[in-house]
Amino acid sequence: MSFRHQYVIGDLQGCHAAFLQLIDKLDFDPKQDKLWFAGDLVARGEDSLNTLRYVKSLCEQGAAATVLGNHDINLIAVWRGAARLKKKDKTAPIFKADDCDELLEWLRHQPILLYPDEQTVLVHAGIPPHWSIETAAGYAKQLEAQLQSSLNQLDRLLPHLYSKSADDWHADIHGFTKMRAIANYFTRMRLCKEDGTLEFSFTASLGESMPEGFAPWFDWQAPRTRKILFGHWAALRGEVDLPHARALDGGCVWGNALLAYRLSDAQVIRSSANCPAP
């Protein structure tokens, strides 16, 4: 299908009012346009429930698609009893809603990696330097298969996806350790070493001092066949725009703006509404 406009939107984080304002600003028409979301649909904004409902509705119309972010996977884990609801997250209304199971069943069947067009690839946090895009797509399929499997298998997987320390990637990595490492690269990565070793504590902007030997994952990247579109790193405010990578989390939930990246000409449109800074 040919679309009038296609936009990739950074982390919504449940910022429902800003989302509605942004799509109004885009003059979005679900019959002519398509939205691609960089994950983290829910968490600390004012209305995660209706944000999730709206995105699901758009996806089911064929007017949108989304990848999963770390907050989305955490929401699934809370639903299945594998994690506790975080105090800062405002997602409790989802679990009280009549359509909770329907929403979370839909969410767990969403992909980890998507190709919005022939020039781009979309993931939540990034792609590590030791993976090609083709290799990353294969690992994304492996994690998706686990998340979309039977509830028994999902319940076995989810407790293993969380660790305060990062796993080393090696040729023999397998099982739940491999799934956790894949999830960490796609949904939690900010800094890494050239070999892909991750560091989880740094969440600041690029002007701050970083741990020795670590750099933003996109600084290690060789030229790619596709530009990597990503969210997750709110402190960047969507200001990183490189030939091979484009940040799209505008930090709306921290009092800034939602960003929409128009695929046809790389123009970025900002919401004028935002979430009150927590």
- C-alpha distances in Å from residue 147, one per residue of 73, 116, 231: 9, 22, 21
Give the model's pLDDT for residue 268: 97
Percent of the chain with pLDDT over 70: 98
Q: Is the pLDDT of residue 275 over 90?
A: no
246 confidence band (pLDDT: 50, 70, 90) = very high
Q: Is 91 exposed, middle or buried (0-12, 13-18, 19+ CB in 10 A)?
A: buried
Give yes or no for residue 218 having a pLDDT over 60.
Answer: yes
The whole-number pLDDT of residue 224 equals 79
Choose between 123 and 224: higher pLDDT. Answer: 123
pLDDT at 164: 83
Check residue 2 and give its pLDDT: 87
Q: What pLDDT score does 278 carry?
A: 56
Distances in Å between the alpha carbon of 136 and those of 6, 16, 122, 190?
24, 31, 11, 16
pLDDT, tens digit, 9 for 90 and up, residues 10-36: 999 999 999 999 999 999 999 999 999
pLDDT at 83: 94
In CATH, what number does 6-270 get?
A: 3.60.21.10
What residue type is assigned to position 146 of the chain? Q
Q: What is the DSSP string of the chain?
A: ---S-EEEE---TT-HHHHHHHHHHTT--TTT-EEEE-S--SSSSS-HHHHHHHHHHHHHTTSEEE---HHHHHHHHHHTTSSPPPTT---HHHHHSTTHHHHHHHHHTS-S-EEEETTEEE-SS---TTS-HHHHHHHHHHHHHHHTS-HHHHHHHGGGG--SSPPPP-TT--HHHHHHHHHHHHHT-SEE-TT--EE-S--S-TTS---TT-EEGGGSPPP-SSEEEE---GGGTT--B-SSEEE---BGGGTSB-EEEETTT--EEE-S--PPP-
**Looking at residues 57-79, what average pLDDT do you find?**
98
13-22, 231-240, 264-273, range with the lowest pLDDT: 264-273
Residue 277 pLDDT > 90, yes or no?
Answer: no
pLDDT computed for residue 165 by the predictor: 85
Q: To the nearest whole number, what is the mean pLDDT of the chain? A: 95
The residue-averaged pLDDT of 47-59 equals 98
| Average pLDDT of span 127-153 | 97
Report yes or no: 71 and 42 within 8 Å, Cβ to Cβ: yes
Q: What's the pLDDT at 276?
A: 64
pLDDT score at 221: 78
Q: How far apart are CA 232 and CA 53, in angstroms?
A: 21
Please state the domain extents for the chain: 6-270
pTM for the full model? 0.96
273 has pLDDT over 80: no
Mean pLDDT of 194-199: 94
Confidence of residue 263 (pLDDT cuts 50, 70, 90): very high
| Predicted local confidence at residue 225, as pLDDT | 84
State the Cα–Cα distance between residues 130 and 169, nearest whole angstrom. 10
Distance CA 198, CA 192 (A): 4
